[in-house]
Amino acid sequence: MPINTSDNQRLAEIFTALGGTFVTPATEISARLQDIQAVVFDWDGVFNDGFKGEGLPSIFSEADSMGSNMLRYGLWRQNNTLPVAAIISGEQNQTARHFASREHFHHVYLGIPDKRAALAHLCTIQKTRPENVAFIFDDVNDLGMAAQCGLRLMVKRQASPLLQNYAINNNCCDYITSNCGSAHAVREAMEFMLGFIGNFDAVIGSRTRYDEMYQGYFDQRQAIVTQSFYNDSGVISSTD
């Protein structure tokens, strides 16, 4: 069940004070989270600042990794089943592939120019719907997919005020993070969602104790073998 109105208000005040921007009211975000079955991330600009160089890999943060794991555990407790986790990137990024495999995400899509195609593919193979997907993103090539998802969290970039206004005006985001990709935006987004699910304290307490319930979730998570997909002339194909 969604948390009550007073809890929603308290959480909204915490994240607003942090600098986050609510586009959709907190009560509606809490309600939508009850239907979320999958969490999908963009990579560049979300887990990092998006800078690249010849032969230089991108990076990620362990704080963001822990946040993604805690959210998945929270959704597992809410839904009594492991939520789908995926990365969809427009680029071929080996660090994203490594992270997805290390964290036992279900899927990683690389080199996808139109992310709506990857979303449709994921929904088909996982037997879910776009409205059951939460999407964390940051840039222009994400907006088409964001417009279709059930919950959309946009990573803030100080240099993109007009893009953020566009996303708001075209119903492509529900919340804009206070932090940028290089300052743990993923962790903010994960704590945001876990808070509005309503089981943050229970999740953190369970993980702290490393109790039987957390171990049950973790065993299921570790059994996932990540599938990799790429764009082949407009067709989503597996690399496996």
What integer best gives the mean pLDDT of the chain? 94
Copy the structure tokens of residue 227: 């599938």
Q: Residue range 15-24: average pLDDT?
A: 98
* Residue bearing the bigger pLDDT, 57 or 109: 109
Q: Residue range 84-93: average pLDDT?
A: 95
Q: Residue range 86-107: average pLDDT?
A: 96
Q: In 3D, which of 152, 127, 150 has the Cα closest to residue 41?
A: 152
> Which three-class secondary structure state does DSSP give residue 82?
coil
Bridge partners (DSSP) listed for residue 133: 38
Q: Residue range 217-235: average pLDDT?
A: 92
Q: Can you count the helices (H) and strands (E) in the chain?
A: 10, 9
Residues near 202 by beta carbon (within 8 Å), at least 6 away in sequence: 77
Whole-number Cα distances in Å, 212 to 168, 202, 216: 42, 13, 6
Residue with tokens 């939508």: 32
pLDDT score, position 2: 45
Is pLDDT at 3 greater than 50 in this prediction?
no
Q: Residue range 18-38: average pLDDT?
A: 97
Instruction: Specify the amino acid at residue 218.
Output: F
What are 101-143's pLDDT values in tens digits? Answer: 999 999 999 999 999 999 999 999 999 999 999 999 999 999 9
Residues near 30 by beta carbon (within 8 Å), at least 6 away in sequence: 2, 3, 8, 196, 197, 198
Query: What share of the chain has pLDDT > 70, as a percent?
Result: 97
Q: Which domains does the chain have, with CATH numbers?
A: 5-229 (3.40.50.1000)
pTM over 0.85: yes
> Which three-class secondary structure state does DSSP give residue 28?
helix
Q: Residue range 26-30: average pLDDT?
A: 96
The neighbour count for residue 125, using CB atoms within 10 Å, is 14
Whole-number Cα distances in Å, 52 to 25, 59, 155, 204, 240: 36, 10, 18, 34, 27
What are 155-182's pLDDT values in tens digits? Answer: 999 999 999 999 999 999 999 999 999 9
**How would you list the strands of the sheet with 21-22, edge to edge?**
21-22, 175-176, 151-154, 133-137, 38-41, 84-88, 107-110, 227-232, 235-238
Residue with tokens 């995926």: 86
